[in-house]
Structure 1
Amino acid sequence: MPEIGSSISKPNLADKIYDITNIKSYISLLLDLDRLNYDSWKELFKTHCIGYNVFDHLEGTPKSDVNSNEWKTVDNIVKQWIYGSLSQQVLQSIITIDATVAEVWKAIEDLFHENKEAKAIELDDELRTLTIGDSLVMEYCTHIKSIYDLLANIGALVPERNLVIYAINSLSPKFAHVSTTIRC
């Protein structure tokens, strides 16, 4: 126990990055192509790196000599963090031998941005052509909401008015009284 009046030294922030062995304890969101959660994952990962003062590695703008052993070690630790927060599919798509963190970060961004427009068109088409069929109303609405959320995740927002129109247009004839009431 420290004596009264003595100061307790705080661990150096730079030393704390060496203690992180399981990034999922800090960033529980796994980056996945199917979930379209890139923007959320990016924000969490970026915030974590800023908090540990290693964001310069993501940007590729080093504060120190990139040839130093310390810089290379930290760069590889941050790269391990990234790899530990990716789905197997994303990891296999971006992994490159001897890449820096900045190169990996850019590869991930490119992967998600190149698929963004095609996925938005695909999801929008699914939303417009979705029918209730034999589904329960709750299942139908949940499916619409999940497509809406996926579109929002990639920045392709659907106005609420359009969402209501898609939903009522796809109801079966047994719900005609409901769709008439909503339209009024």
Structure 2
Amino acid sequence: MDTNPVSSPRSSHDGDGVLRDAAGDAPGNGILRDAIVPDATAVAAAPVPPALRAFPSSVLQTIDMRHHVPVILDLHGGNYTQWCRFFNTVVGMFGMREHILAEAAPLRRHRDPEWDMVDHCIVHWLHATISPELVDAVMHHEDTAPTLWSAIESIFRGNQLPRAIYLDAEYHAVVQGDLTIMQYCARLKSSTDQLRDLGQNITDTQQLFNMLRGLSARYHHAIPHLTSRVLLPTFLQARSFLLLEQHRAE
């Protein structure tokens, strides 16, 4: 006896959802009786989750942002990437992403007192995590979170191509000198992060070649070992190998 509920060419569905045979009658032997096919109109739409709200301003006002963003953004520090990632993480963690989006903020400002207080908290956090010189450059008497965020971003991402040209030249002129392997690699990585912020992607292989190019003479013996492999090591793998060589030499 075939109990497969899948319709055969001899069966069809009527409007009431009951499986019927070619004659239009429901099965009389009890098989598939009351087998109801879900109607599209009867399927309830999945509930839409409510919009996330930021933490209450009374809680946000007690947070010391410098514990969450351990770097101070500086015009000459080359740490915009680090600062931006830290700050973005905190904004997302407390559900305040909309406050720094220029297209979202005007819809709520001045209509929701709680929104305004949270906005002021973010402005305070921004001022507390950038250098005094940068505060002077971006501060305005009507600062809001999105306008201040955009002003900071424009300083570090404006004139991208000319800045990328100069930074790329500096990057390819870096040599190890008296730096340790960790210090040397950290300096190279900082430069690649800044270039990425300016829209210039540096591949892992390019990072590897540039690191090997600038190595001190005392590590030149490691270059053939790293480059003679069929599959080149990554930048991080090469750094680990050179750190081991540094430890052995000490």
Question: What CA RMSD, in Å, does the superposition of the two structures yield over aligned residues?
Answer: 3.5
- Contact 1:30–1:85 (Cα < 8 Å) also in 2: yes
**Amino acid corresponding to residue 192 of structure 2 in structure 1:** L
**Match in the other structure for 1:27:** 69
| Distance verdict in 2 for CA 1:94–1:162, change over 3 Å | same
Which whole-Å CA distance do the structure 2 matches of 1:32 and 1:115 have between them? Answer: 18
**Counterpart secondary structure, 2:60:** helix
Q: Max radius of gyration: which structure? A: 2
- Contact 1:78–1:101 (Cα < 8 Å) also in 2: yes
**Larger RCO: Structure 1 or Structure 2 (Cα < 8 Å, ≥ 6 residues apart)?**
1
1:76 to 116, 120, 127: 120
| Distance verdict in 2 for CA 1:67–1:126, change over 3 Å | same
Output one character per residue of 1:131-179: Cα deviation in whole Å (capped at 9) or x when no partner: 66xx34x45884465134322243134445445555565679x77x749
1:149 to 172, 181, 190: 190
**Match in the other structure for 2:96:** 54
Which whole-Å CA distance do the structure 2 matches of 1:24 and 1:180 have between them? Answer: 41
- Contact 1:30–1:87 (Cα < 8 Å) also in 2: yes
Output one character per residue of 1:99-151: Cα deviation in whole Å (capped at 9) or x when no partner: 2111101111111111543333223212334466xx34x45884465134322
Give the Å deviation of 1:13: 3.3
Q: Which has the higher helix share?
A: 1
| Distance verdict in 2 for CA 1:179–1:13, change over 3 Å | closer
Output one character per residue of 1:59-111: Cα deviation in whole Å (capped at 9) or x when no partner: 14247452454333322121001111112232222111112111101111111
- Contact 1:148–1:158 (Cα < 8 Å) also in 2: no
| Distance verdict in 2 for CA 1:116–1:141, change over 3 Å | farther
| Distance verdict in 2 for CA 1:93–1:147, change over 3 Å | farther
Give the Å deviation of 1:23: 1.2
Which whole-Å CA distance do the structure 1 matches of 2:129 and 2:194 have between them? Answer: 18
**Match in the other structure for 1:127:** 171
**Match in the other structure for 1:7:** none
**Match in the other structure for 2:60:** 17
**Amino acid corresponding to residue 144 of structure 2 in structure 1:** T
Identical counterparts, % of pairs: 19
Output one character per residue of 1:44-65: Cα deviation in whole Å (capped at 9) or x when no partner: 2223223323322211424745
| Distance verdict in 2 for CA 1:94–1:131, change over 3 Å | same
2:157 to 94, 110, 113: 113
**Match in the other structure for 1:88:** 132
- Contact 2:167–2:195 (Cα < 8 Å) also in 1: no
Q: If the length of structure 2 is used for normalisation, what is the TM-score?
A: 0.53
Structure 2 gaps of 5+ residues are: 1-53, 229-250
- Contact 2:171–2:191 (Cα < 8 Å) also in 1: no
